[in-house]
Chain A
Amino acid sequence: MADSLPGLDALLAAADEGVALDGLALERADDETYTLETPDTRETGLEEGELEDALESIPALVSNWRYWDTIGGKGTARRAFLRWCERAPPTDATTEDRTLEDAPFDVSSRYDALEDGIVREWGQLRITVELVDGGEGERRYELRHVDDADRAREELERREDPRDARELSTYDGDGRYRPLKTAPTLRSGWVFPELSGRALVEAVDFFYPATIANWHRERRGELDVDHWLETAERQTGIYDVIDELPREAVDWMAEACCVDSQCLRRREWEHEEGDELEPEGGDGPFPCREPCSLVVAAARKWAILESEDERTYELELTTSELNQLAELIDAVADGRIDEIREADVNDGANRYRARYLRAKRFDEDGGLEATKRE
């Protein structure tokens, strides 16, 4: 049989088992005739020749089936993610899904949209899906930083191997190590111009490990959240102490580490079931299902620090100096230090202002001159 329509042979072969995807349904009856169903028609008793003619008239539905057949992996996170990338209807989402904010596209509108490219954002990643010219339904995925949305491809550093994502995600724009992959500090200036579906998923897995798997679980209503107390009580060795962190300190910790300005994962864990933490969990597409290793390591420090008793100190400060201490803390907490101009002495976190305060208020031991009140 001449394969005039790409994917026809494979489609006919699959018809034995029954085909149903994105509005295309095909079945072979015992009498060797076919039943073809599309969003517009339903035809029964088709001979093979008639079926071929009918399929010729719906090339998008056929090539769409063909592409997803080559992707395979029914029920896997990989397949679900690639379908999400082009706003295809989810086939296995069972719960309310935060990533379904846009209405899904049927094949016809999806193919129209793929002409210009369908764009999705995943953290700081920007994914554009397009059809390969003459590619029989094959898709190509471009991956770049969201901040580079409007830049010409030629201006960006070209990457091919998904493993390059490891190197790109290791340091931020200032060359500092990023121990937290989902921190909003991914550097820009690069592009993977044409990844296959599998390579795209690999690259995303290196940029944001396990985010696709957990997003997929959440969509299926299977996200296994470990709340703070569960994770804390499980720890041993030097982290054994973290379950002693006071309840209110867990709120402060989540505000310090887990809000959107610090991490793009959406925190789904709470103090424990039925006891929610005060800070917002965030708006990202992919969930955080338990405190990460950075939070655990920081919690150890805070658990030790919180075991100290509070005391009252007396120290001499002008009102402006007291305010300056707050400004200094704010500047460090917001990562603003590098933005403060050299001569901006109006900013309390300016280096000269800080040095002046130190010269004036530190004692010979190099600390604030304060007296403990008994």
Chain B
Amino acid sequence: MQALVVAAHGSHLNPDASDPTYAHADTVRETGAFDEVREAFWKEEPHFREVIRTLESDEVFVVPLFISEGYFTEQVIPRELRLEDWDPEKWDSDGTDASQVTLEATDVGKTVHYCGPVGTHDAMTDVIVQRAESVTDDPDVGDGVGLAVVGHGTERNENSAKAIEYHADRIRERDRFDEVKALFMDEEPEVDDVTDFFESSDVVVVPLFVADGYHTQEDIPEDMGLTEDYRLGWDVPTEVDGHRIWYAGAVGTEGLMADVLLERAADAGAELGDALERVRAATTGSDGVATDESEPTAGD
């Protein structure tokens, strides 16, 4: 038997923080690729500390629903899962390369494949593009359009910015959008000045966040000038300084994120059958056209 654990942050204060975690886990459940699928959290329940014992499977794939390698993926999650002999060196990563390492969870004696975060997987690049398609309702979006990939950024963890730049570079290489920029909340170049960085009249802004919350629904919209007060909402697109800003909200709410969870598990050796194809079809539409919903279409 094999199990998938989706390890996310969760929140004591915001009931919506775990919505994407549940939605993507449900999409994976629908495929039947895993005997068991569990959500686990730092701030909700089941806690990282107690999730593995709820599983009957001997082989467990843990995929952190986090954007970058850092404090949570390198310290908190492995410690709380009691992964014996864990050392960040085992990922052999320069900040965006973590794939997986196989360890034992000491409280339960199970094999745990501890995977890198979803945010740094190559498949995440597709999710960002898919998010741009969803928000513009245009499966061919790109021509004449600029794309801003927005990250938190922080002085403390250089990997936070690396993940954003990694995907921005990959999208730029595809030559699909006229311009692609990596912007940040807490460091230069800042998302506040988004229109300064683009010549294109249409700019799609995709925040590389796992869930919508304070940053993506309050901070960034106000900082970009989409609205004076987040409580009043904003239009998509909104006219700012002569540009039309298509603000996508957290990339983590895109249904295709479930694909990244599966890719991570597959890289670590999970047997998935045709689950990858089925998830891609269910979350992008069979003709490659995005569904309107930001939640996965499979599910409740």
Contacts and interface: CB of A to CB of B under 8 A. Distances in A.
Interface of A: 73, 76-78, 161, 163-164, 166, 170-171, 177, 179-182, 205, 209-210, 212-214, 217, 224, 234, 236-237, 289-290, 292-294, 297
Given A224-B107, A293-B43, A297-B12, A213 B53 contact: yes
A374 B51 CA distance: 53
Interface residues of B, number: 26
Contacts of A166: 22
B44 A179 contact: yes
Given A76-B56, A166-B22, A224-B107, A209 B12 contact: no
Given A73-B56, A78-B56, A209-B45, 15 more contacts: A77-B54, A163-B26, A166-B22, A171-B15, A179-B11, A179-B43, A205-B54, A210-B45, A210-B51, A213-B50, A213-B54, A224-B107, A236-B79, A237-B71, A293-B12
Contacts of B79: 234, 236
A210 B43 contact: no
- List 9 tightest A-B contacts by C-beta distance, closest first: A209-B46, A210-B50, A209-B45, A177-B15, A179-B12, A213-B53, A210-B46, A213-B54, A181-B45
A163 to B, nearest CB: 6
B94 interface: no
A77 B52 CA distance: 13
Contacts of B43: 179, 293, 297
A236 B26 CA distance: 32
Contacts of B234: none
Nearest to B41: A293
Contacts, number: 65
A31 B76 CA distance: 60
Contacts of B51: 210
A40 B100 CA distance: 57
10 contacts: A163-B300, A205-B46, A210-B45, A236-B76, A290-B49, A293-B43, A293-B47, A294-B12, A297-B12, A297-B43
A76 B11 CA distance: 30
Contacts of A217: 53
B75 interface: yes
B42 A293 contact: yes
B13 interface: yes
Nearest to B26: A163
Contacts of A224: 107
A161 B22 CA distance: 14
B50 to A, nearest CB: 4
Nearest to B48: A293
A214 B53 CA distance: 8
A179 B16 CA distance: 11
Interface of B: 11-15, 22, 26, 41-47, 49-51, 53-54, 56, 71, 75-76, 79, 107, 300
Nearest to B25: A163
B117 to A, nearest CB: 17
Contacts of A170: 15
Contacts of B53: 210, 213-214, 217
Nearest to A177: B15
Give the one of A77, A181, A213 with max B CB within 10 A: A213
A182 to B, nearest CB: 8
Contacts of A76: 56
Nearest to A212: B54
Contacts of B76: 236-237
Contacts of A289: 50
B75 A236 contact: yes
A209 B50 contact: yes
A179 B50 contact: no
Give the one of B44, B45, B56 with max A CB within 10 A: B45
Nearest to B79: A234
A163 B79 CA distance: 29
Nearest to A202: B36
A289 B26 CA distance: 28
A295 B41 CA distance: 15
A4 to B, nearest CB: 34
Contact of A177 (B13, B22, B26, B42): B13
A360 B45 CA distance: 45
A223 B76 CA distance: 22
A73 B56 CA distance: 8
Contacts of B44: 179, 181, 293
A182 B46 CA distance: 11
Give the one of A210, A224, A289 with max B CB within 10 A: A210
Nearest to A167: B300
B58 to A, nearest CB: 12
A164 B76 CA distance: 30
Given A179-B12, A209-B54, A292 B75 contact: no
Nearest to B299: A163
A181 B50 CA distance: 14
B299 to A, nearest CB: 8
B60 to A, nearest CB: 14
A205 B45 CA distance: 10
A214 B14 CA distance: 27
A182 B41 CA distance: 15
Contact of A292 (B11, B14, B47): B47
A76 to B, nearest CB: 5
Nearest to B52: A213
Contacts of B300: 161, 163-164
B75 A179 contact: no
A205 B36 CA distance: 12
Contacts of B15: 170-171, 177
Contacts of B22: 163, 166
Contacts of A179: 11-13, 43-44
Nearest to A72: B56
